[in-house]
Chains A and B, each alone.
Chain A
Amino acid sequence: MAQIEIRDLGIDYRKPKSNEVFSAVDSVALSVEKGEFVTIVGSSGCGKSTLLMAVAGLVSLTRGSIEIDGKQVTGPGPDRAVVFQEASLLPWRSVRGNVKFGLEMQRWNGGDLNERAMQMIRLVGLGRFSDYHPHQLSGGMRQRVNIARALAVDPEVLLMDEPFGALDAQTREIMGAELLRIWERAKKTALFVTHDIDEAIFLADKIVVMGRNPGHIKEVIKVDLPRPRNEAILDSDAFHELRKRLRAHLAEDMSSMQLVQEVA
């Protein structure tokens, strides 16, 4: 049985200042195996974050269901941890304090909190910065803290919403490779939202391509590139092939977007 089972998912938002509803995600079905790395791509506003937040238990479902290990998702749980798009760190806490935060909220009792936090901070390569405060870190470092905070609670499923969205291409590539290294060791199931086509391919076992109006899944593409992966893979023929396919998908979405704008 798949670890994450999404069936006929629909999420409506109420439009501001009216009773009209707006369907952000509709008829989404997806299953994710244990240990699988799934990336989600699609144009802006197609419901990627909404889908991820639904799996996190942070938005309520209008239709359908989400199961994790056979249990219905009704709210956040210790089996999942989220890495948000904005680093969302507590500015008054140090790196260590922030990594401990998730553990504290979950009332973790698997030993010394400080030790556990330090272990995670070292894992993401910030050992020397454990006493720094978020405003003393670069954007990339903050995202690493964010990842360490999520890994610390030892979730079954790691949910990441464009964690590298605010970084430059170079840093992004390095962080992606580092994330893979961590993931290969930790063996978590991962859902990863991104705008970056190369990133989506590089990380994924399978890529979920979403379309808009309302948000739906257009295609699920298997990525059979060998692991462990490194930058060399970016130049392989298989990679080029996947890149072309994804580009075509997103270009199609862009032209339909323009059409909508012209009509509107």
Chain B
Amino acid sequence: MIAELFYRRQALVLGTLSMIGIVVFWQIAVDTGFINPFFISTPSQVAAEFMAQFEDGSVATNVAATLYCFVWSLGLAAVVGIVLGMLAGWFADVEAALEPFIWFKYSAPTVAFYPLFVAWLGYGTPTIIAIAFLFALTPIYANTLSGIKNTDRDLARAARSFGARPLDIFLRVALPGSVPVMMAGLRLGVGRALTGVVVAELFGANAGLGYAITYYGQLMQTTKMMVSIVIVVVLGVLLTQILSFLESKTDSWRVDSNR
């Protein structure tokens, strides 16, 4: 226990140190003229620009726009992915019926659908949400499916020995047993939804972090662009960490979990 805590603290310290190391290296590499700041800016300039964008409210506007699309796409993907995953995990026929779509989704890049969504929904928020929804759907669906499908047979048999009906087994054995896997799917979905939103914003939006990245990118304003890139990265790490935390709360009963 103590050794484990020590180890985790050590991992945290090392991770932080290496992050700081990269930032320092970045700054020094530019200061010594090793790298042209035109391509990558510098940490100090990015920090100053962040404060400026923070004060004029554009950070808030862009983050809000991105989070709005993120929440909608993740929410829809969670509902649809979990419902379909549960049905497919429980009924082999549903799984077989959905299989081609999943293969399709695995093999075809989701962004390829972008023009199609634009044709249907126009440029802007609905298309961004649709693309990010598709990004996030697969891991949520796939994990829910495998969680339900791989229900422990011994537990199901024990339940049946006490007269459990199929619905009892689904609700009391299959579902609670799948929660950790479903949470892992959601964690993957969070990263994918954020990626989907930012990628879709790169192509066409009026606000949002992805929009700001392309906008300043086209103007060759690397520092301003870096601000949004850094925010995206921090947001991604933060959201995924929140989900990891929730995940660890739900699988504390797992024998192999040391959290």
Interface of A with B (CB < 8 Å)?
A: 56-58, 76-78, 80-82, 84, 86, 88, 90-92, 101-102, 104-106, 133-135, 153
Residues on B with beta carbons closer than 8 Å to the beta carbon of A84: 154, 157-158, 161
- Residues of A near B162 (CB, < 8 A) are 76, 81, 101-102, 105-106, 153
Query: B255 within 8 Å of A by Cβ?
Result: yes
> Are B253 and A105 in contact, with the CB atoms below 8 A?
no
Residues of chain B touching chain A, judged by Cβ–Cβ distance below 8 Å, are: 154-155, 157-164, 168, 172-173, 176-177, 179, 253-255
Nearest A-chain residue to B255, judged by Cβ: A135
Q: Is the CB of A91 within 8 A of B255?
A: yes
Could you tell me the distance between the alpha carbons of A104 and B154 in the complex, rounded to whole angstroms? 18
For A104, the chain B residues whose CB sits under 8 A away are 172
CB distance from B164 to the nearest CB of A (A): 4
**List of A residues within 8 angstroms of B161 by Cβ:** 56-58, 76, 80-82, 84
Residue in chain B with minimal CB distance to A146: B158
Q: Which residue of A lies closest to B257 (CB)?
A: A135
Selected from A92, A133, A135, the residue in CB contact (under 8 A) with B176 is A92
Known A-B contacts A76-B163, A90-B173, A105-B163; the reply to A82 vs B158 at CB < 8 A is yes
Given A76-B162, A101-B162, 14 new contacts (CB under 8 A): A58-B161, A77-B163, A80-B161, A81-B161, A82-B158, A84-B158, A90-B173, A91-B254, A92-B177, A92-B253, A101-B159, A105-B162, A105-B172, A106-B163
Closest to B165 in A: A105
Check B157 against A133 for contact (C-beta < 8 Å): no
**Bound CA–CA A77/B161 (angstroms):** 7
Closest 5 CB pairs of A and B: A105-B162, A88-B158, A102-B162, A105-B164, A92-B253
13 residue pairs A–B, Cβ–Cβ below 8 Å: A56-B161, A58-B157, A78-B163, A84-B157, A88-B155, A90-B172, A91-B177, A92-B177, A92-B253, A101-B162, A102-B162, A133-B253, A153-B162
In chain A, what residue has the closest Cβ to B155?
A: A88
Bound Cα distance A91, B178 (Å): 12
A135/B163 in contact, CB under 8 A = no
Chain B residues closer than 8 Å to A135, beta-carbon distance: 253-255
User: Whole-angstrom distance from the CB of A117 to the nearest CB of chain B?
Assistant: 13
| Distance A145 CA – B250 CA, assembled complex (angstroms) | 23
Closest Cβ of chain A: how far from B169's Cβ, in Å? Answer: 9
Kindly identify which residue among B157, B159, B176, B177 contacts A105, using a CB–CB cutoff of 8 Å: B159
Q: B155 → chain A, closest Cβ, in Å? A: 6
B253 adjacent to A91 (CB under 8 Å): yes
Q: Give the nearest-CB partner of B152 in chain A.
A: A88
Q: Chain B's nearest CB lies how many Å from the CB of A148?
A: 13
Bound complex: CA of A84 vs CA of B158, how far in Å? 8
Chain B residues, CB < 8 A from A57: 161
When distances are taken between beta carbons in the complex, the residues of chain B under 8 Å from A86 are 154
Chain A hits for B154, CB < 8 A: 84, 86, 88
Q: How far is B161's CA from A153's CA once the two chains are assembled, in angstroms? A: 11
Contact B157 A88 (CB under 8 A): yes
Which residues of chain B come closer than 8 Å to A90, judged between CB atoms?
155, 172-173, 176-177
B179 contacts across to A, CB distance below 8 A: 92
Chain A residues, Cβ within 8 Å of B164: 105
The residues of B that contact A105 with a CB separation of less than 8 Å are: 159, 162-164, 168, 172
